[in-house]
Amino acid sequence: MNKKLKDYIKEAESLSEHPTEESRAYHNAMVAQFQHERFIHLVVTMFFALFTILFFAISIFLPFVVTPGAWGTAMVMGCEGISAILVVVLVFYIHHYYQLENGVQNLEEITKRFYKK
């Protein structure tokens, strides 16, 4: 998605130099598509953050609830492992969302250029 966004930003910059009604309509459709993509990634990122916090809290409080033994230790270690995996995935999702957000903001600046001329 980031490559597609970067490619379109380059294309939109060249289209904004001599805008036509057709290019404006195309640009508006592409901006709407990227904004929708941004919203979907925001929702996914928030759910990953929620589940990360949830599993992290469970891994902290679980040792106080379960009885000591093999099953209790396995449950705690499982929740810690899931928390670690979710943290790694969340970092990548946040990075991807950051790039997507900045790209859409660049498109909104280009949109201003489409309508100034």
In angstroms and rounded to an integer, the radius of gyration of the C-alpha atoms of the chain is 22
How many domains, the chain? 1
Give me the average pLDDT of each 10-residue run along the chain (117 residues): 84 84 88 92 93 92 80 85 94 93 90 80
pLDDT at 117: 60
What pLDDT, on a 0 to 100 scale, did the predictor assign at position 112? 87
Query: What is the extent of the structural domain holding 55?
Result: 2-116
Distances (CA, A) of 84 to 2, 35, 44, 57, 64: 26, 30, 18, 12, 20
Helix/strand/coil for 66? coil
How much is the pTM? Answer: 0.78
| Per-residue model confidence (pLDDT) at position 89 | 94
